[in-house]
Amino acid sequence: MPTIRQEIINFLSTGEYDVRDISQKLRIPEKEVYTHLDHIARSLGSRQKKLHVTPAYCISCGFVFAKRNRMKKPGRCPKCRSEYIQEPKFQVS
């Protein structure tokens, strides 16, 4: 039986998903998904795979959080202060 991290890797290998999609698919809390994603990003190198992150962006002004290292969705846009942020998306390839 695969571990939760193996299930996340298998799921992310099929397409690009946000944390909510992963949480609903595996029936685990979103907070737990972030912890697993951090570990998966570090451990995929030994498998010659990579966790690709499509960065979060502000829906109001289009600001892209390209240099952000954290997996979590930002709280507000530094440019326009809007809280309408599109979550980052993740994929394994």
- 91: three-class secondary structure by DSSP: strand
Give me the sign of the Cα torsion angle 66, 67, 70, 76.
Answer: negative
Residue with tokens 């498998």: 47
Locate 15 and state its tokens: 């397409």
**In the predicted model, is pLDDT for residue 2 greater than 80?**
yes
The ranges assigned to domains in the chain are: 4-92
Percent of the chain's residues with pLDDT above 70: 100
Whether residue 76 has pLDDT greater than 80: yes
* CATH fold for domain 4-92: Arc Repressor Mutant, subunit A (1.10.10)
Global pTM?
A: 0.91
To the nearest 5 percent, what fractions of the chain are helix, strand and coil?
40, 15, 45
pLDDT, one tens digit per residue, over 17-45 is 999 999 999 999 999 999 999 999 989 97
Decide: 54 and 16 in contact? Cβ < 8 Å: yes
